[in-house]
Structure 1
């Protein structure tokens, strides 16, 4: 009798432990929106969520928690310290690749450095006539204070006005302190659309494309290699199943860039990234001239 009770108790304990493990959740903390009308936040946070979901069988369930965004430079510092954040997304650079653990899969599939331009509508003809980097050197670009792009543009001889916030960059263009704001073709149209009422003088032009090697990635603390591995496995699974392509082609942030063939006749200026990047097998191919 005692033996039977002991076996039943053991079975109950095993069931309890297994049930507890099934219910146990990993909490992954990332950044909240930089501003209320942040078009890109939903794209990246839901892509992260999908990567965690498709790897839940191997790694267990996970939930995402967001905490306020203190600015890009501060996020990177806190992530490197292992404070507040488990994961963040940003453009890659040698410094960031050294400070943090980069998840290899490129989030815009290599298209972060494919840049259309926010310009004033009354400046459209001027930009339509630009055929070389030399022509562009008479203009001033607005860029984020800590964006890797600012260094790339300056390296190519383009004057850059560094600004801390997105809306402030747009205001600088309206005030004619800047002439253009280069944004990825995968985000520019949607980002501007959210604030278009406040900036009716502006448009996102894609007749002239600046193209340079630059990729966007998830980054984690150097001591969280397992989390980086999980996220990358999830992104590769989404890629292999075709779900990631469907996501990009339907998400409000990125859908306007498709089909990529529409850029076949755009005027493309190739810029040099002084921090040369290795080719990534998941990068989109730029469309051939029509």
Structure 2
């Protein structure tokens, strides 16, 4: 019975996607796909390109446009759920976000958001080289965004988290020693630390944090046609190799520099990860063993 139920649910989902796309295709105007201005310039290069790729593979006529506001994550989520300026955002999934919004459950960065290495002050290198366990890391203050999904993960593991509004704000707080360790994804950290090197900021080279995390496209719950178009486009891009090509073109150097196989990896649970996250589909996720 369980197998039948799962099969029926999957067929219902596919049928719903087909109906949503068919209904839109019958309309004359192109589908509007408006997204908020990325706060992080790196996101403009990767996630906007991934959005363009997904829509170009969707076989739906569309018009891509940006909302001229660099909204922090909480505001972007609120605007998507209740406003009219945004049609899609990319964000790390949480139970609350999947209740508020409609997720497209294909991890855009193959889970790289869950691989974290730290920005620290240069004079603290030796302190962190001695850290080998989570208990030892708990002796330090950790910086993170107040509305970031990662903050819940770090606090759940008993870490002492100091919050700030934006990444730029947090780098400034690190410089004046409001906290000791600022974990960033292996995609983000290199450029950010280079920008703050004059303040004595460096990349910590011996530790990595890892927790299961997925960055998805999210749309409004009343916009299943866009969700269906994005999912169809992403699946086609994965099938024809263009997803992998884009992923590698933006992330290969970050992965190489992170050198995860030579770091002490501290595994953290993610209590806010929805049960529907497709962790069992191994091809959707990056693993250091795949390098």
Same fold at TM > 0.5: yes
**Contact 1:25 1:63 (C-alpha < 8 Å) held by counterparts:** no
Taking the TM superposition and a 5 Å limit, the aligned residue runs for 1:106-125 are 106-125=107-126
* 1:147 CA displacement: 0.5
**Contact 1:40 1:187 (C-alpha < 8 Å) held by counterparts:** no
Q: Is 2:274 aligned against 1:273?
A: no
1:221-274 Cα shifts (integer Å, max 9, x gaps): 0011111111122122222222222212222xx343234993212100011111
Matched with 1:15 is none
* 1:101 CA displacement: 0.2
1:104-151 Cα shifts (integer Å, max 9, x gaps): 110110121110111112212211111000000110111001011111
CA, structure 1 residues 80+134, in 2 after alignment: closer, same or farther (shift >3 Å)? same
**Contact 1:40 1:191 (C-alpha < 8 Å) held by counterparts:** no
Matched with 1:232 is 231
Cα distance between partner residues in 2 of 1:256 and 1:123: 26
Bigger drift between 125-134 and 182-191 goes to 182-191
Q: Is 2:59 aligned against 1:49?
A: no
* 1:220 CA displacement: 0.4
Cα distance between partner residues in 1 of 2:90 and 2:238: 18
Cα distance between partner residues in 2 of 1:187 and 1:214: 15
Runs of 4+, deviation exceeding 6 Å: none
Q: Flag the structure with higher helix content.
A: 2
Number of corresponding residues: 261
Cα distance between partner residues in 2 of 1:22 and 1:221: 19
Matched with 1:134 is 135
Cα distance between partner residues in 2 of 1:248 and 1:191: 20
Q: Any unmatched runs of 5+ in structure 2? A: 1-25
CA, structure 1 residues 246+169, in 2 after alignment: closer, same or farther (shift >3 Å)? same
Q: Any unmatched runs of 5+ in structure 1? A: 1-20
* 1:92 CA displacement: 0.8
Cα distance between partner residues in 1 of 2:77 and 2:273: 21
**Contact 2:93 2:273 (C-alpha < 8 Å) held by counterparts:** no
Taking the TM superposition and a 5 Å limit, the aligned residue runs for 1:177-192 are 177-192=178-193
Aligned match for 1:30, one of 21, 35, 51: 35
Taking the TM superposition and a 5 Å limit, the aligned residue runs for 1:1-290 are 24-34=29-39, 38-55=41-58, 58-193=59-194, 195-196=195-196, 199-251=198-250, 254-259=251-256, 262-277=259-274, 278=277, 279=279, 281=281, 282-287=284-289
1:165-190 Cα shifts (integer Å, max 9, x gaps): 11110111111111111111122213
Cα distance between partner residues in 1 of 2:53 and 2:273: 30
Cα distance between partner residues in 1 of 2:156 and 2:196: 31
**Contact 2:186 2:258 (C-alpha < 8 Å) held by counterparts:** no
CA, structure 1 residues 286+182, in 2 after alignment: closer, same or farther (shift >3 Å)? same
